[in-house]
Structure formats: structure tokens, C-alpha cells
Structure 1
């Protein structure tokens, strides 16, 4: 009888072209650990990776030798202390500006409007980084300025993901983006989406602003795409929001 073709594992589907198969598989096993997982059994790892248990055991032995995983007394596996060390090295060398500014510049280039990254600052929000629109008529906020936390698209996003009650904030949490015209200033429109860090916590709000007369509904897609890219650049996972706004 002809042999049945082997099923391609999830690990092999995500392998790097021209890379080392064993390394790709081992790294994919590490990526099988998700936020909230304290430990995983061999069966769970096999299911998530699509690898045979015999292959997994060999990979886990190498990962355990490198302290990237550790085998617990009950036979389950958890991430090892070397992961924490590498995270500390990464965090020490990490520059938020180096990640945020390219995303803001790309958003401005795509929309020709101004883009900013806001973080909470007590009862206000701080414009931490900003790239201005190339057009002469624009919103003239500068990096370092404090803005209201209860007005404007960026402020509304920060409040929504801090748990603020109300229909508007519920909608932001469902859609993942908000577009408002005249909320902070009568002549200014803003579109904002949340940005998340590697721990899943809110890192800030990415906001596009423009004169109300230049506002376009498709700015929502631009801002969502930029917020997703920035979240990934920070090592986070951008959620799949249950209700996305319809494209104009």
C-alpha cells in the first residue's frame, strides 16, 4: 500500500525559508506558550505545534538544557529562567521612541494628517510623541503638552480601556477605534485606537488629528492598522475586537 503523506505541522508551516528546521521547530514550541499559561503538558504542546510527541521530547530536551523551558515535577513544562533573562536584556536596551516614531511617520505619510501617541498622566493625557501633518492647516499640539483625558479621541480611548462606564466607552471597547469630530475643539476631528504592551496592558493611544473639513471615515482603517503595527512592535498582541465599524 502507498504510504500516506505526512501532515505538515504548524511548526513547519511557519518555518523560515532557508533556515534550520530543528531551530524553527524549537522556537515554535516556545511560541506555543500564551498569555495566562503557567505550564503545558506534552499533549497540549503537541496539539498546538502539530509535532509528534517523540519529536517534541527531543526539542524540549534541548530547550531545557538551554534553560528556555523547565520540566516541572508533575511532568508539565513551563518557560525557563533564560526567557526572563533575555526579557530583562531586551527591556534594558528598548527605546519606545525608536518603535513609536516610525509608525507615526508612516501613518502621516499615508494620510497627510498629524499623528500622536498619548499616555495617561493623572487626570490628563500626555502627548508623548507626535509627527505633524505636512499641510499648513493642522492641529498645532506639540509633544510634551498635556491634554484633557475626558475630551478628544485619544482621551476617550484611554478612559475606555481604563474601564470607564458609558455607551461611548462600551462602543470603543467593542470596535477598538473611535472617530470624533469637534469633541476636544469644534474645528478638529480625531481618530484613535489603543496600543497594548507585551503584558496585554494598555500602553497608550495612537491618535490621528485633522481639521474637521478633511476628516474621512477611512481614517479608521489607517489608525487601526497603525495601532496593530505598533502593538506588535512593542511585543504585544492586538485583540480581535468583536464589532468593527463598517468601512465608508
Structure 2
């Protein structure tokens, strides 16, 4: 049994480790768990558990039921849902991005909302051209500039319904004066907006014919992704 109380002098890392151990112990149970059983599972005194559980309850990671037993809270379930959704997106989208690049397109990316001023590139497949735009997975890009940013602004949290007229965007030198992009919105279950697929590269390669060809590819990819994720892409 752990005899060292969690205090401010112990440091944040130890407290976080113990809190995560509590969440992990609860998650391993098929049914809600009593405080006594949680103490046995973690090796922590009940007083230590109660102190940390108060913080976990405030974060909705743990909930105390009416019968006094503990279970995972709503935020823990939300994290699990988001985790599953993220890996589902990768499973669905990455082959589509690779396919477009394999057909000679510009570099293919998938962008999602990050915060009120930026989007994040979560998937990226570089084109086979000798010159590329400089974007990598994990890069933060402006939300108010670029084809993908424009779509994220239009759909994220706005309730705007997708139509044939609003799911496709083109940008020419907005984010970078030497680069251009086409992008198309992707939707999931209940037509919740997921993010935007884009094809981007040097602006000099974005002729009218090239744009038309890339528009067709990115729309086809977005339609396939949306249908695979349980959404309805506009016809």
C-alpha cells in the first residue's frame, strides 16, 4: 500500500501519474468499482484516491455513481470516441491521398480545425514532382487563408449544410504567394464536418486544365471518404 500522500510538494508529475493510474484501473473493470476495490487495484490509500478523484470528477474523467461506486466519466468516453475517429480517418484517408499522388497530382494533405486562428495538417503525402510546397504533418497553418482553411471556416461548428456549390475551394497565392491549392470538404456520421482534403503545390503548375483535373480528383476522394465515414456527400 502506498504510504506517501499526494501533496503540492510532491510535484505535478507524480500526481498526474497517480491520477492516470486511477483512470486506468477503472477502465480495466467491466463494472463500476468500489473505493475499496480501487484501493486494492492501485495500491493507494483511500484518502489519496479521494483527493485525486475529486480532480478527475471535475474533469469528467471519472464519475461517482449513486451507489458510491466509480466509473469512467463522459470526457473519458469522448476521448475514446475521438481516438477511434482519428485512426478511422487515417485508415480511410491515407489510401485516397496516396492514390491521387500516384495519379500524378500535386501533394495531398488532410487538414482539420486546430483553434480559432489555425488549422493543422494531420496527413500528408508528397507529390512526385521535383518542386513541392513546404507542408508537413503537424504543421499549423492559417485558418483564414488557403483553400482548406476556407472550407474549415465555412463548415466547422457552423451547421452549414454541404451542397455541390460550397464543398470545393481554390486558392491561388493566399497562404504563400508562390503556392496554390484545391480542397474539398469531408463529412462523417450525421454529416458532421471532419476536415478538408487538399492538393497543393507551386502556383505555376495550376493551369486551368490542371485545376479542372485536380478538382475532379479531390471531389472523388472527398466523396469516397465521406461515404466510408458514414456521411452523405452532395450529388
Q: Same fold (TM over 0.5)?
A: yes
TM-score of the aligned structures, taking structure 1 as reference length: 0.54
Aligned with 1:193 (options 177, 181, 184): 184
8 Å contact kept, 2:226–2:233: yes
2:85 and 2:167 mapped to 1: Cα distance?
Answer: 30
Aligned length: 147
2:163 and 2:173 mapped to 1: Cα distance?
Answer: 17
Which residue is 1:227 aligned to?
222
RMSD (CA atoms): 2.7
Which residue is 2:168 aligned to?
177
Superposed displacement of residue 176, structure 1 = 1.9
Which residue is 1:115 aligned to?
108
Cα pair distance change 1:190/1:176, threshold 3 Å: same
Say which structure is richer in helix.
2
Superposed displacement of residue 126, structure 1 = 0.6
8 Å contact kept, 1:161–1:173: no
Superposed displacement of residue 163, structure 1 = 7.0
Superposed displacement of residue 94, structure 1 = 5.7
Superposed displacement of residue 171, structure 1 = 11
Aligned with 1:236 (options 209, 225, 231): 231
Superposed displacement of residue 205, structure 1 = 0.5
Cα pair distance change 1:94/1:228, threshold 3 Å: same
Which residue is 2:132 aligned to?
138
Cα pair distance change 1:97/1:171, threshold 3 Å: closer
TM-score of the aligned structures, taking structure 2 as reference length: 0.57
Cα pair distance change 1:224/1:163, threshold 3 Å: same
Gaps of 5+ in 1: 1-87, 241-248
Runs of 4+ in 1 over 6 A off after TM superposition: 169-173
Cα pair distance change 1:201/1:174, threshold 3 Å: same
The SS at the match of 1:95 is: helix
Cα pair distance change 1:171/1:237, threshold 3 Å: closer
The SS at the match of 2:141 is: strand
Which residue is 1:99 aligned to?
92
8 Å contact kept, 1:172–1:178: no
Higher Rg: 2
Which residue is 2:48 aligned to?
none
